[in-house]
Amino acid sequence: MGSIAIMCSGGDSSGMNPAIKKFVEYALDKNLTPYFIFDGLEGLIDGDIRKADYKDVTGIIHLGGTMIRTSRSKRFYEFSNREIAYRNLQKNSIDKLIVLGGDGSFKAMDIFSKEFNISFIGIPSTIDNNINGTDYCLGVDTALNVIRTALDEIRDTALSFKRAFVVETMGADCGYLALISALTSGAEICIIPEIRYDLEALQKKISEEMKEGRTNILAVVAEGTNDTDKIKEWIERDLKLEVRELILGHIQRGGSPSVYDRLMAFEFISYAIDRLMQDSVNEIIVYRDAKFEFLEVNEVVKDRHRINDKLLDLVVRLSK
């Protein structure tokens, strides 16, 4: 039935290893020869492509990150390097690709698959959850659970002092992680790029709560606002509370994949392989309105992702 390869591109996310495990097992069940491309697009250019078997994916399902590693590649922008990448695939008779990644990776593969005889499907895989056309990206559930644990533990110490904590979450220019984390942790403040915040209104509201006995504050700030320091200084100056600032950083990308991310990884891969066996395609598999769909790459990358309005409505009161 031919050969099929998988690679990761861009930032890593928990859920990639379960997807890689399912890829090998399902491909072999379908009489396909599975290959790993190591180090993403860089490895594709360098020819770091290896045949995979069951033993290669034993014991990886609980591991965060990606066993085949990932990268960002400036070299792939050059046609000569894409031509080299194609020849490396030809050497292994690979004409089907699954790419775990985000917008940038999908744009690169869109160009690549149109220039050469390659059929590919992209699986949205980013903790930022900022891919247009899908409600869910692989890895976001694990990231939210990592943040939840951190915020719950921070709240414990905040309650022990008259103190405020300002916690910055990742998410690039998308506030999804901060929004969901603020709601589910009971934060008093949520600052995200999608909502214009009003410090004057927040000060008035929180000051009234402090008169009634509030002694601590948890503020969750999305990195895309670039306002973490500003919020810290505002709390110290106007609310007169001692403040600790915490940037969670890359721990949000790690951790053992959640049950949900593992199950979704299995489904993404199964649907993707079935689709690649039917036709020559250039598509992204998405999950929206509780079902899987395939979209043309252009439909996914043409617009910026927008957080659901219902979620935005829920968090407005934490911003103004």
C-alpha neighbours within 13 Å on the C-beta side of residue 162: 8
Based on the residue annotation, tell me whether 39 is a catalytic residue of this protein: no
Give tens-digit pLDDT for 134-162. 999 999 999 999 999 999 999 998 888 88
Give tens-digit pLDDT for 159-201. 888 899 999 999 999 999 999 999 999 999 999 999 999 999 9
By C-alpha distance, which of 74, 73, 87, 75 is closest to 115? Answer: 87
Q: Which is the catalytic residue, given 95, 103, 128, 261?
A: 128
**In this structure, is residue 309 part of a structural domain?**
no
Which own/partner pairs from 313-318 qualify as long-range (CB within 8 Å, at least 24 positions apart)? 314/183, 315/179, 315/182, 315/183, 315/190, 315/192, 315/195, 316/195, 318/182, 318/183, 318/187, 318/188, 318/189, 318/190
Mean pLDDT, residues 32-55: 98
Alpha carbon separation from 117 to 36, 92, 111 (Å, rounded): 19, 14, 11
Q: Are residues 134 and 278 in the same domain?
A: yes
Q: Are residues 33 and 130 in the same domain?
A: yes
How far is residue 210's CA from residue 18's CA, in Å, rounded to a whole number? 47
By C-alpha distance, which of 81, 82, 77 is closest to 113? Answer: 82
By C-alpha distance, which of 227, 220, 134, 139 is closest to 184? Answer: 220
Q: Are residues 267 and 247 in the same domain?
A: no
Q: Are residues 125 and 274 in the same domain?
A: yes
pLDDT at 1 over 80: no
**In this structure, is residue 311 part of a structural domain?**
no
Mean pLDDT, residues 272-294: 95
**CB of 240 closer than 8 Å to CB of 228:** no
How is residue 301 written in tokens? Answer: 């990358």
Q: Are residues 10 and 23 in the same domain?
A: yes
> Average pLDDT over the chain, rounded to whole?
96
Longest dimension (CA), the chain: 72
Phi, psi of 185 (to 5 degrees): -105, -5
Mean pLDDT, residues 198-222: 96
How far is residue 218's CA from residue 262's CA, in Å, rounded to a whole number? 31
**In this structure, is residue 313 part of a structural domain?**
no
Residue position matching structure tokens 């492509």: 49
Identify the CATH number of the domain in which residue 236 sits. Answer: 3.40.50.460
Task: Count other Cβ atoms within 10 Å, centred on residue 77.
Answer: 11
**In this structure, is residue 168 part of a structural domain?**
yes
**CB of 276 closer than 8 Å to CB of 101:** no
Q: Are residues 147 and 218 in the same domain?
A: yes
In 199-301, DSSP assigns E strands to 217-222, 242-247, 282-288, 291-296
Identify the CATH number of the domain in which residue 22 sits. Answer: 3.40.50.450
**In this structure, is residue 133 part of a structural domain?**
yes
Give tens-digit pLDDT for 68-124. 999 999 999 999 999 999 999 999 999 999 999 999 999 999 999 999 989 999 999
Alpha carbon separation from 29 to 7, 11, 68, 292 (Å, rounded): 19, 29, 21, 22
Cβ-count burial 30-46 (b if 16+ within 10 Å, e if not): eebbbbbbbbbbbbbbb
**In this structure, is residue 234 part of a structural domain?**
yes
Q: Are residues 265 and 240 in the same domain?
A: no
Q: Are residues 20 and 125 in the same domain?
A: yes
Last residue of a domain, one of 220, 253, 286: 253
Burial of 250 (0-12, 13-18, 19+ CB in 10 A): exposed
Indicate the number of domains in the chain: 2
**CB of 241 closer than 8 Å to CB of 217:** yes
**In this structure, is residue 308 part of a structural domain?**
no
Give the type of residue at 114: K
Q: Are residues 227 and 149 in the same domain?
A: yes
Q: Are residues 271 and 122 in the same domain?
A: yes
The pLDDT value recorded for residue 272 is: 98
Q: Are residues 69 and 199 in the same domain?
A: no
**In this structure, is residue 231 part of a structural domain?**
yes
Structural domain for 281, as ranges = 3-139+257-303
Q: Are residues 178 and 127 in the same domain?
A: no
DSSP string, 11-57: S--TTHHHHHHHHHHHHHHTT-EEEEETTHHHHHHHT-EEE--GGGG
